[in-house]
Amino acid sequence: MKTIKFYTLTILIAVLFTACSESNDDPIVIDENPLAAFNLLSSFEANNHTVEVYSKQNQYTIGYNELFFRIKDNGTDSYISDASLTMTPMMHMEMMSHSCPKSTISNTKEASVYKGFSIFQMPGNATEYWELGLEYSFGGQTYNLAERIEVKAPADGKKRVNVFTGADENRYVLAMMPMKPEVAVNDFSAMLFKMENMMTFPVAEGYTIEIDPRMPGMGNHSSPNNQNLTFDASNNMYKGKLSLTMTGYWKINLKVKDASGALLKGEDVTEENEASSLYFEMEF
Ligand SMILES: [Cu+2]
């Protein structure tokens, strides 16, 4: 969103600048794509429309993916405003199919740009693949498409999503929110979903996610002033503070407790146990 706003501002400044400078004969090229700063991940042809999917990332990645959508009417070559969209990512595995945690798709300040997120739990492979289903409506009509997408492990191989069975026998998906780690006490957030069935992943509310960041390469030392992640109902996220005292490889050991304080998954880091079975990783 910030990038979109920034982009609108850039156009405005460009227009103002053109208006004020008479001596400049060079044509000012203004790219009209409000998503020009993002990566085009997919361009689906269906129903005489082109549906484009953009992301800050350059691939569909395991973990949290913020996605932006545009729908072009191929007949008029114009982008559709005020459409409503829903997405259904499906992974077709050899023995079964399942979806993943995902958001509704909402409008942005750009009338022809829509956004949402999807949290892929696993990558595709040679025989098992993800398909992105989209249903969209405008002008009183509803259209559908479903196209294969490539979901890959992140280029750095770091773990940003955990799928686990809790002590309550429920299945959960825990995803780290994207962040730029710094040597500082960082804002740190995650999303936690309960797997109700293969298709339904409601937000798990009111839990606690305890964090214990460690540097395994340096005697497994920790850091001071961390804050466990607690639920923020305003955006369905778990928020806390992650203290990183130096650059390098960090393992963020995790413990998830339910609303009553009962431990669902994860272990303490001790002399005998160097890591929790539940963790995120980062290196910077
Ligand atoms: Cu799968």
Mean pLDDT by 10 residues, the chain (284 residues): 52 49 51 89 98 97 98 96 97 96 96 97 95 97 98 95 98 97 98 97 98 97 98 97 98 98 98 97 97
96 C-alpha to ligand 1 centroid (Å): 8
Pair (136, 167) in one structural domain: no
Smallest CA-to-CA distance from 263 within 191, 190, 210 is with 210
Please count the CA atoms within 13 angstroms of the CA of 80 that sit on its side-chain side: 23
Pair (144, 168) in one structural domain: no
Residue 188 CB partners (closer than 8 Å, separation 6+): 177, 179, 211, 229, 239, 240, 241, 242
155 C-alpha to ligand 1 centroid (Å): 20
d(Cα 166, Cα 181) in Å, to the nearest integer? 28
122 C-alpha to ligand 1 centroid (Å): 6
Q: Which of 115, 130, 152 is the C-terminal boundary of a domain?
A: 152
Pair (266, 213) in one structural domain: yes
260 C-alpha to ligand 1 centroid (Å): 31
d(Cα 1, Cα 41) in Å, to the nearest integer? 18
Pair (17, 135) in one structural domain: yes
Q: Residue 6 gets which letter from DSSP? A: H
67 C-alpha to ligand 1 centroid (Å): 20
Structural domains in the chain (count): 2
265 C-alpha to ligand 1 centroid (Å): 21
Pair (106, 199) in one structural domain: no
91 C-alpha to ligand 1 centroid (Å): 5
Q: Which of 109, 130, 152 is the C-terminal boundary of a domain?
A: 152
CATH of the domain at 200: 2.60.40
Strand partners, 199: none
Pair (13, 136) in one structural domain: yes
The reported pLDDT for the residue numbered 23 is 47
Smallest CA-to-CA distance from 37 within 81, 83, 72, 5 is with 5
202 C-alpha to ligand 1 centroid (Å): 18
Phi-psi region of 262 (alpha: psi -120 to 50; beta: other; left: phi over 0): beta
d(Cα 91, Cα 119) in Å, to the nearest integer? 12
The reported pLDDT for the residue numbered 18 is 47
Beta strand pairing status for 84-92 and 129-138? antiparallel
191 C-alpha to ligand 1 centroid (Å): 19
Q: Look up tokens 């706003």; give the residue.
A: 5
Pair (140, 255) in one structural domain: no
Pair (39, 139) in one structural domain: yes
CATH of the domain at 88: 2.60.40.10
103 C-alpha to ligand 1 centroid (Å): 19
- Listed residues: CB within 5 A of ion ligand 1: 91, 93, 122
The reported pLDDT for the residue numbered 106 is 97
Pair (168, 221) in one structural domain: yes
Q: Which domain holds residue 186?
A: 161-283
d(Cα 244, Cα 219) in Å, to the nearest integer? 15
For the chain, how many residues are written?
284
- The pTM (predicted TM-score) of the whole model is 0.87
How many beta carbons lie within 10 A of that of residue 176, not counting itself? Answer: 24
Pair (143, 95) in one structural domain: yes
136 C-alpha to ligand 1 centroid (Å): 25
Pair (127, 9) in one structural domain: yes
Pair (21, 122) in one structural domain: yes
The reported pLDDT for the residue numbered 32 is 80
d(Cα 70, Cα 116) in Å, to the nearest integer? 12
Q: Which of 152, 186, 211 is the C-terminal boundary of a domain?
A: 152
